[in-house]
Amino acid sequence: MINVAAIRMQQFGVQFYQASLTASDIDKLVRFEVLNYGDNAQPPVRGSKPREGAAPSKVNWDLLERRIASSEKAYQRQIIRRKIDELVQYYEQCRQARDLPSIPGAVIISCDEKLSFQAYGDDERVGILKVPEREGILRAIDGQHRLLALHADIDRFQGEDFSVPAIIFDRLPEDHVVQMFVTINAKHTRLNASHLVSLSGRQLYRDEALATSHDVVRALNDREDSPLYDEIKLLGVGRGRVAQAPLAQELKKLFAGVDVFGGPHRGDYREEARKFFVNYFKQIALVFNAAWNGRKYSIRSASALRAFIRVAPDVLRRLDQEHADRADFRAIGRVIAPWGRRIGDLRFETEGAWKRGGTTVESLTKELRLALQYPEGAAV
């Protein structure tokens, strides 16, 4: 174990650490990796080597490129050669002038394993963080270029007392890591569109249910025939008004269960799920036409959309009972037609029934289910 001075921090129930790592800790513990685009594989480093006659680079690029892994499970973009060269030059200036720190701001790092923390003294927030002494156990969420430049310049730091401020998370879910990376980088470093598409693709999500949920969310947002076309804010960016995360998590719960999409459908249900949900929301937009296209309604809020997703298994069971194709547009319309009679557009009027009833995902889901069970309004 490597003992690291740290402060234990908490935000909205999430625990993380503000720590001080040495240059040798960084060199030993951090693994460097970039996203491999599969069939269109690109080299991990972008940019040409110096031309003849140009000032030689201080970076041994042959050695450095061997340290950079390329994986379909990674999320970092290509390393920019010019940026590394400039950072190494800056580190050298700081080392010689000794008037500025070269890495004054914290890098953000995730650890693959659970970390242990030992409080020191009376303040339980301050103590020692114990990090397993294993090569590559840490990976950078933000600051990979700064850390790679430090690695490239490490030989010149011998004998120096050099500390790197770091924010360390342990065992963050894969999709949370990706969302944090995109939130930090999308606007300020202008990640290119293909990288964003790859990040939101299937290869990053080891959880099959989560992968399928993102497939469905992308279909709802990207297909021009979808009533939610361009309405979902994917990975925290875009023009959409509805956040991706609550929809994806709701879908994940549905796909993770053994009911409806489980059992014999598991393994071959992704395309069926995409088609069903696009047609399902197209029919919802028709059943509640005034509310869906009106400005004073909450039918396209995250709460309403989550309720519609939550009741989808009931709709699918009806389709199965009728021996209808699950993605059949007309069959879906027949099943949910009672919503128009029993619930109606006014139920979603923001300043009306929506607010008066204190609508929640749970309460709306219950109403939708009852309307399916008792389409003619039978007493319950």
The DSSP letter of residue 121 is S
- Rg of the chain over Cα atoms, rounded to whole angstroms, equals 26
Q: Which of 56, 28, 33 is nearest to 45 (CA)?
A: 33
What's the length of the chain? 380
End-to-end CA distance of the chain: 63
Number of domains in the chain: 2
Of all helices (H) and strands (E), which one includes residue 282? helix 270-287
Whether 214 maps to a domain, the answer reads no
Please identify, among 140, 172, 204, the residue that sits at the C-terminal boundary of a domain.
172
Whether 212 maps to a domain, the answer reads no
17: helix, coil or strand?
strand
How many CB atoms are located within 10 Å of the residue 28 CB?
Answer: 17
pLDDT digit string, tens, across residues 314-323: 999 999 999 9
Please identify, among 172, 190, 224, the residue that sits at the C-terminal boundary of a domain.
172
Contacting residues for 178 by C-beta, under 8 A, at least 6 apart: 75, 199, 200, 204, 235
pLDDT digit string, tens, across residues 256-306: 875 666 544 455 678 889 999 999 999 999 999 999 999 899 999 989 999
One domain for residues 158 and 264: no
Whether 131 maps to a domain, the answer reads yes
Place of tokens 């219950």: 366
One domain for residues 24 and 147: yes
Residue 259, pLDDT score = 63
How many CB atoms are located within 10 Å of the residue 322 CB?
Answer: 12
The answer to whether 207 and 215 have CB atoms below 8 angstroms apart is no
Residue 343, pLDDT score = 93
One domain for residues 130 and 277: no
Residue 43, pLDDT score = 63
The answer to whether 130 and 116 have CB atoms below 8 angstroms apart is yes
Residue 92, pLDDT score = 85
Please identify, among 150, 172, 194, the residue that sits at the C-terminal boundary of a domain.
172
- Strand 2-11 with 14-22, pairing: antiparallel
Whether 205 maps to a domain, the answer reads no
**Average pLDDT per consecutive 10 residues, the chain (380 residues; last block may be shorter):** 89 87 85 62 61 61 69 67 84 83 87 87 88 85 83 77 88 73 59 48 58 85 91 68 82 77 58 92 95 93 93 92 92 94 93 90 93 71
Domain encompassing residue 351: 257-373
* Nearest-angstrom CA–CA distance, 243 and 226: 16
Whether 51 maps to a domain, the answer reads yes
